[in-house]
Amino acid sequence: MSRRPLFKTVLTLLAATTAATGAGSAYAELANAGAAVPPPPADLVLYNGHVLTPSGWVSAVASSDGAIVALGDDALAKASAAANARMIDLHGQTVLPGLHDMHAHPISAGTAEMQCQIAPDSTMERLLATTAACVKAKKPGEWVVGRAYEPAALGAAPSKALLDTIAPDNPVILTDVSIHASWANSAALRLAGITRDTPDPKGGVIDRDANGEPTGILREAAAFIAREKVPAASRADNVRALQWALDKMMSYGIVAFDDALVTTDAAQAYADLADSGKLKPFVRGCLISTDPHLITYRQVYARARFEPTCIKILTDGVPNDSHTAAMLDPYRPVRGVPHDERPNGLLMIPPAQLARDVTRYDAMGFTVKLHAAGDAAVHESLEAIAAARKANGFSGQMHDVAHNSFVAPSDLVRAHDIGATLEFSPYIWFDSPIVRGVQQAVGPERMKRWIPVKEALDAGVFVIPGSDWNVVPSVNPWLAMETLVTRRGPGGSGEPVGLAEAITLQQAFNLFTINSARHMNIADRSGTIEMGKRADLVVVDRDIFAVPVTAVHDTRVVMTIIDGEVVYARPGPDRLPPNEGN
């Protein structure tokens, strides 16, 4: 997309949408009644920039009480300003609609910052050295909790004995990069009550050696047996973790997102932050389906910017060495790892039960987000959505299947036909330790259709993006946009992965803006820069459509604005000059 010349626009006054509040909504009521009224005075004006609207580029945008009331050239936007309006000279910077992330785990991300940090590309030697340093900082008996190792990068099989050598007096549990498997030492296994006689829990696997002894690797539901023994974070710690994560997300221009797995503690953290006035992005919470009490009493935690209107269901695991993603075709055998009893992975919920659950939640008015990484799990998730459509009719709920690492071509057609949304995540469109681990598990041929975004769009499927942060190391949406186009690493580095699934930059940008806003049911107020919508904006240091696509990942956010409030301003030399005025 090339930049259109800036053009002078007659200031058009349109009725504000239902998203407008205060002065904006009062004006909307008068305008809808046919009254000839002046625009509400703007309290924020951004001018001398390049502002992207659905109809082209303009130089200025102004908002009143969070609602956009002026779009056009500088003179017209300035004319809308109240006497005490904040006037920001953009100095040629670019203004885009705020971005949306449809799959994030912010409290987990914030909590991980306070834990033992293991780089995903760590070898076994490096991992043990890092963990040993974390153990040294603890008192005997204290838990050592860390993440995010990548099994394929270790170069050796993990075992409880290896951790025992560096932590004989501390329970240790390390979680892999996918968060679907954990590695525990003997002390942690003892505290969790896991022995050779412990059966595999429903939806989980305890890896065992040739003698039937637990190796220390716990997959899916089995990992939670040990994780639940770790002392819980305090209410204040959860709020601090959430605030840290939100600050990080807003620094990338993210104005709204789905929290893809909300527990009672997480819901409380959102409510607490909202009550303090510090919850700025709009958040849709996907409540974990295994907590009926939380689902029943969800409105206790609902706030203006936190809507617990989504349900999260886990249908399978991940397609790496865990072999827990449910696949239509068997995994490649892994030497020394006894997975023969589950050659096609693990479907966590029987299909008939899954269909009943989705149908019930659909009737209750929830949007359902179904974790499905393997193509067999994707198929059963779509069948469950189809069952809900058949039983209830089209309720308007845009149920989505999350991850879709592998999808059968016929199921792309099926997704379109039943009005299902496919959410593609994580941000692993390119070569990385995670991708190499998946390739080892499934082989290079299947990797040609790894995360089939282009096929889905070509089939007419409604598509949204999700970072799955902190399963992935970064929540940077600009990196994701670039690599959706290149299918290579940042800056075009590395070997391409699934190059046939590359899409255009405009398509990628739409996924993060208007598509996501539609999916969240907030397209009347977010997703594009238009009259009457909320001023959810991101100021960046470049026109991403005018630079080489390999430079998009390095986009710097100068300012993030939510509801007309500047919630992030970049420090340092790249920030906007401080002089503000007429």
Residues 33 and 182 in one domain: no
The helix-helix angle for 264-275 and 235-251 (nearest 10°) equals 70
Strands 421-424 and 204-208: unpaired
The residue among 193, 227, 261 that closes a domain is 227
**Rounded distance between C-alpha atoms, residue 292 and residue 275, angstroms:** 25
Residues 458 and 484 in one domain: yes
* Residue 83 φ then ψ, to 5°: -60, -35
- The residue assigned the tokens 């099994």 is 151
Residues 399 and 336 in one domain: yes
Q: Is residue 1 part of a domain?
A: no
Q: What is the pLDDT of residue 6?
A: 30
Domain that holds residue 120: 107-227
Neighbours of 115 (CB within 10 A): 17
Pull the structure tokens for residue 14: 């349109």
**Rounded distance between C-alpha atoms, residue 42 and residue 62, angstroms:** 6
1-22 as b/e: b if 16+ CB within 10 A: eeeeebeebebebbbbbebbbe
**Rounded distance between C-alpha atoms, residue 487 and residue 497, angstroms:** 6
Residues 546 and 488 in one domain: no
What's the rounded mean pLDDT across residues 497-509? 97
Q: Is residue 468 part of a domain?
A: no
Mean pLDDT over each residue of the chain, to the nearest integer: 91
Give the Cα-Cα-Cα angle 207, 212, 217 (nearest 5 degrees): 20
Residues 411 and 533 in one domain: no
Residues 333 and 208 in one domain: no
CA distances from 558 to 87, 95, 238, 252 (A): 16, 10, 28, 9
Q: Is residue 185 part of a domain?
A: yes
Q: Is residue 90 part of a domain?
A: yes
For 21, the 3-state DSSP assignment is coil
Q: What is the pLDDT of residue 573?
A: 54
Counted domains in the chain: 3
Q: What is the pLDDT of residue 26?
A: 44
Q: How many CA atoms lie within 13 A of 555 on its CB side?
A: 30
What's the rounded mean pLDDT across residues 103-129? 94
Q: How many CA atoms lie within 13 A of 145 on its CB side?
A: 18
Q: Is residue 40 part of a domain?
A: yes
Q: Is residue 241 part of a domain?
A: no
Q: Is residue 289 part of a domain?
A: no
Q: What is the pLDDT of residue 571?
A: 87
pLDDT in tens, 12-40: 322 233 333 334 444 444 444 455 567 78
CATH of the domain at 112: 3.10.310.70
Q: Is residue 244 part of a domain?
A: no
Provide the pLDDT confidence category of residue 71 given band limits of 50, 70 and 90.
Answer: very high
Tell me which residue of 446, 449, 392 sits closest to 419, measured CA to CA. 392
Pull the structure tokens for residue 123: 């070898």
Instruction: Find residue 45's DSSP bridge partners.
Output: 62, 87
Collect all residues with Cβ–Cβ distance below 8 Å to 373 and sequence separation of at least 6: 316, 317, 318, 319, 325, 403, 404, 405, 406
Among 225-229, 259-263, 542-546, the minimum mean pLDDT is found in 225-229
Contact indicator for 475, 481 with CB cutoff of 8 Å: no
Sign of CA dihedral 210, 215, 219, 222: positive
Question: pTM, whole model, 2 decimals?
Answer: 0.87
Contact indicator for 214, 195 with CB cutoff of 8 Å: yes
CATH of the domain at 371: 3.20.20.140
**Rounded distance between C-alpha atoms, residue 176 and residue 207, angstroms:** 15
Percent of the chain surpassing pLDDT 90: 81
Residues 330 and 478 in one domain: yes
pLDDT in tens, 204-258: 999 999 999 999 999 989 999 999 999 989 999 999 999 999 999 999 999 999 9
Instruction: Find residue 214's DSSP bridge partners.
Output: 208
Residues 91 and 115 in one domain: no
Pull the structure tokens for residue 283: 């958040």
